[in-house]
């Protein structure tokens, strides 16, 4: 079914002449000013989502609870400045993300350092820069952190990443809570119990609690309720057997966002209340105090705050087969269809789809890379008269686009332009050809 005149994002609209607007600004104006491909971010939407999480978490879990922005969704200096201003914690997964947060003036004592393979250099860099917490993924990492911390005469605060064995019924590539995962120590195999005992024995380690993450693009609270039950059982068992009661329990992130109309819209505040009510009741039934709870939203903070504008290059029609609309971007700025088959909504910018279905054709929107898999989306309805020079918009591109972008085919990365109250400004400039070879000797 072809759906017309539908807006899956609250910050999208059409002007009286039919042109698509984002955060109240005409896309043709921005494309003319900055060129395409063009990443746009709605700053007001980002701040609104931060406040939704912080308010709901504090109201339902108390002042000790935390919202940590998952930096891997989108990482650039201006975004960390916004997180600092909004009072968000952050999680980081590399020294590069730590460096970027530091440049933004973010207080790194509020940062949680993830990754399944922190190098010794990463550990040293994080400690040297005062990163508050390490989320420890393995025994090897725990021992390395302990050794480096003792050399400095400190005790490093850590959470242990625990694998609860929950299948989130999502894409296999983004499911991280199952036992067979490169992440964490599994409860089922006894390894979670073993790494906890080891952490409690080490002089350079201050064990603060536990962490889990069950996956990404999750729409049902049931996944979080099941994970919370498993994790609280584990916390209670550790308390009974080892006399250690966790101060903190981080249950990860992963709430989904609407990429296409058929996907549901999540009431974040209602979901957090449901999880909080369950966790408080279940902890009480186990006879333990509920640890301070943390969430790690990433995608749901920035995804629908983002949009990418492209210019159509060629339109190729193969009679009896299919049609291709090629744009001036592609898998270099959005690799997610190639990686996951991720669905997207793509709209013409200057006018909505015609009311008459005879004036619409179905095409594959593809990129300019020399790669047959360079596809942004299949089965996209477009006006039958679409032509070279027309603008199209790919919606909900705020998460995992800029952060996963590459220079494949030696393409410069697009700029990031922030929109705030009708004002636009550059947060990340467009890469130049000189940038592409700046590191070459």
Listed in sequence order, the residues at least 6 apart from 67 whose beta carbon sits closer than 8 Å to its beta carbon are 50, 53, 54, 57, 88, 89, 294, 295, 296, 297
Task: Give CA–CA dist 60/88, Å, rounded.
Answer: 17
Rg of the chain over Cα atoms, rounded to whole angstroms, equals 23
Listed in sequence order, the residues at least 6 apart from 423 whose beta carbon sits closer than 8 Å to its beta carbon are none
Task: Give CA–CA dist 221/400, Å, rounded.
Answer: 23
Q: Is 370 a catalytic residue?
A: yes
Among candidate residues 50, 363, 369, 370, the one labeled active-site is 370
Helices (H), 70-172: 77-86, 95-103, 120-128, 139-152
On whether the CB atoms of residues 239 and 245 are closer than 8 A, the answer is yes
On whether the CB atoms of residues 424 and 418 are closer than 8 A, the answer is yes
Task: Give CA–CA dist 113/126, Å, rounded.
Answer: 8
Q: Which of 1, 74, 6 is nearest to 42 (CA)?
A: 74
360: its two tokens: 């619409």
Residues with active-site annotation: 370
């Amino acid at each position: 079914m072809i759906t017309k005149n539908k807006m899956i994002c609250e910050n999208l609209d059409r002007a009286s002449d039919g042109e698509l607007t984002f955060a109240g600004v005409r896309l043709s104006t921005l494309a003319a000013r900055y060129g395409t491909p063009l990443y746009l971010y709605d700053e007001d939407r980002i701040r609104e989502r931060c406040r939704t999480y912080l308010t709901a978490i504090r109201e339902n879990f108390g002042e000790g609870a935390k919202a940590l922005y998952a930096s891997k969704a989108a990482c650039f200096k201006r975004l960390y400045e916004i997180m600092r201003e909004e009072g968000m914690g952050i999680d980081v997964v590399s020294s590069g993300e730590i460096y970027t947060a530091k440049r933004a003036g973010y207080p790194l004592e509020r940062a949680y350092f993830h990754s399944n393979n922190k190098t010794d250099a990463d550990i040293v860099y994080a400690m040297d820069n005062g990163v508050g917490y390490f989320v420890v993924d393995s025994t090897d990492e725990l021992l390395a952190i302990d050794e480096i911390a003792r050399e400095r005469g400190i005790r490093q605060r850590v959470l242990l990443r625990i694998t609860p064995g929950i299948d989130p019924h999502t894409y296999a590539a983004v499911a991280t809570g199952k036992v067979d995962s490169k992440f964490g120590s599994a409860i089922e195999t006894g390894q979670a119990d073993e790494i906890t005992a080891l952490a409690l024995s080490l002089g350079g380690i201050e064990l603060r609690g536990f962490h889990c993450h069950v996956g990404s693009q999750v729409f049902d609270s049931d996944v979080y309720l099941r994970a919370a039950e498993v994790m609280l059982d584990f916390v209670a068992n550790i308390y009974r057997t080892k006399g250690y009661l966790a101060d903190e329990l981080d249950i990860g992130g992963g709430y989904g966002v609407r990429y296409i109309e058929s996907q549901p819209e999540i009431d974040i505040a209602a979901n957090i209340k449901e999880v909080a009510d369950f966790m408080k009741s279940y902890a009480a039934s186990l006879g333990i105090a509920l640890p301070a709870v943390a969430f790690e939203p990433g995608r749901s903070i920035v995804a629908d705050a983002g949009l990418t504008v492209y210019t159509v290059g060629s339109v190729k029609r193969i009679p009896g087969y299919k049609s291709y609309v090629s744009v001036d971007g592609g898998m270099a700025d959005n690799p997610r269809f190639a990686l996951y088959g991720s669905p997207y909504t793509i709209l013409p910018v200057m006018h909505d789809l015609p009311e008459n279905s005879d004036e619409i054709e179905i095409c594959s929107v593809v990129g300019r890379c020399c790669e047959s898999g360079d596809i942004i989306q299949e089965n996209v309805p477009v006006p039958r008269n679409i032509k070279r020079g027309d603008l199209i918009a790919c919606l909900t591109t705020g998460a995992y686009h800029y952060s996963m972008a590459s220079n494949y085919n030696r393409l410069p990365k697009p700029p990031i332009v922030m929109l705030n109250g009708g004002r636009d400004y550059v947060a990340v400039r467009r890469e130049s050809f000189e940038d592409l070879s700046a590191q070459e000797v």
